[in-house]
């Protein structure tokens, strides 16, 4: 299934994309039992949602909806840095035995076709194509062997970063959390459609030019390893998001540097998931 969160005529909802354009609205199907996609996942209702997708008549068109970040209200967004060897090499850092972690806030996110916003404080807005994992089951100290059973699904992610703010100190929080810089979408593909450990290809394009390409078999710390590591220090909850790392090719390490600017379009594509597309806009023009 492809599950989306959206606004329709100003009202929040969620549903299943049943072909390229039609959507089954799940909001009235589940009512207060599951008022949003996070609650659907937490209620272990994905199989019932799949049945509804087969039996309910689509009442919405995708083009009439404003998409929201896949999980608009995550309990936590865990991001893994320096997790492809070519990216570690281009940054001049050393490989580490444990994942490098930082957190994002929900307010820092945008959805498919919403603008990634470049703040006036910096001209160094950089792209980072990534794969997001959405957690489906509670867990603490999850073993790597059990990790896949805790995954609800997958999405594309652009962990767009304000590089000078990120690198001004040893902590990355500021540069990774500017308002409306992290793109999350277009939908969640449920885990039953991507088998555990399936080799996925991640591609990032800026204005149609390919700037990043990698496959998940080049992750330094695998998805099960990330789940095990994070759940060792905190419980993972349904709807939590793990952003699994970006490959080499980032704009700040190019000669000359290649940063995103207003009017650009950035795409993150993952085979078996889809394409996340965002234009870039200046915050001073209609934002903030």
145 and 268 together in one domain: yes
The domain tally of the chain equals 2
Q: Is 204 exposed, middle or buried (0-12, 13-18, 19+ CB in 10 A)?
A: buried
pLDDT of residue 284: 79
pLDDT of residue 287: 54
SS3 122: coil
SS3 198: coil
pLDDT of residue 205: 99
Ranges of residues in the chain whose predicted pLDDT is under 50: none
- Using an 8 Å Cβ cutoff, are 287 and 151 in contact? no
pLDDT of residue 150: 99
Domain boundary among 67, 90, 107: 67
Place of tokens 């909001």: 27
16 and 125 together in one domain: no
Our CA angle for 110, 245, 284, nearest 5°, is 30
Question: 60-78, pLDDT tens digit by residue?
Answer: 999 999 999 999 999 999 9
CA distance linking residue 225 with residue 152, whole number of Å: 16
Is 189 domain-assigned?
yes
pLDDT of residue 27: 98
Is 287 domain-assigned?
no
A 10 A CB-CB count for 258 gives: 17
Residue 40 domain boundaries: 2-67
Bond prior to 191 in cis (omega within 30° of 0): no
Model confidence, pTM: 0.97
Is 72 domain-assigned?
no
pLDDT of residue 20: 87
Q: What is the per-residue burial (b if ≥16 Cβ within 10 Å, else e) of 171-191?
A: ebeebbbbebbbbbbbbbbbb
Two structure tokens written together for 197: 């450990």
CA distance linking residue 142 with residue 119, whole number of Å: 39
Domain boundary among 67, 90, 112: 67
161 and 240 together in one domain: yes
Domain boundary among 32, 67, 102: 67
126 and 200 together in one domain: yes
């Amino acid at each position: 299934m492809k599950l989306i969160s959206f606004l329709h005529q100003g009202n929040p909802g969620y549903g299943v994309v049943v072909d390229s354009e039609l959507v089954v609205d799940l909001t009235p199907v589940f009512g207060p039992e599951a008022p949003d996609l996070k609650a659907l996942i937490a209620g272990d209702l994905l199989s019932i949602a799949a049945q509804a997708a087969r039996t309910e008549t689509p009442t919405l068109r995708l083009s009439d909806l404003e998409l929201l970040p896949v999980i608009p209200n995550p309990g936590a967004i865990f991001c893994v840095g320096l997790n492809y060897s070519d990216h570690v090499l281009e940054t001049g850092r050393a490989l580490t035995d444990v994942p490098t972690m930082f957190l994002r806030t929900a307010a820092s996110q945008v959805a498919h076709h919403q603008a990634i916003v470049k703040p006036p404080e910096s001209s160094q807005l950089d792209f980072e194509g990534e794969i997001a994992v959405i957690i489906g089951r509670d867990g603490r100290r999850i073993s790597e062997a059990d990790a896949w059973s805790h995954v609800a699904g997958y999405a594309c992610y652009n962990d767009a970063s304000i590089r000078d703010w990120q690198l001004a100190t040893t902590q990355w929080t500021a540069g990774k959390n500017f308002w409306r810089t992290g793109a999350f979408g277009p939908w969640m593909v449920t885990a039953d459609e991507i088998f555990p450990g399936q080799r996925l290809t991640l591609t990032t394009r800026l204005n149609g030019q390919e700037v990043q390409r990698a496959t998940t078999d080049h992750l330094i710390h695998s998805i099960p390893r990330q789940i095990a590591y994070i759940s060792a220090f905190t419980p993972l909850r349904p709807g939590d998001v793990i952003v699994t790392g970006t490959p080499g090719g980032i704009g700040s390490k190019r000669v000359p540097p290649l940063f995103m600017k207003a009017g650009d379009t950035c795409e993150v594509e993952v085979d078996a998931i889809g394409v996340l597309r965002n234009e870039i806009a200046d915050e001073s023009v209609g934002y903030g």
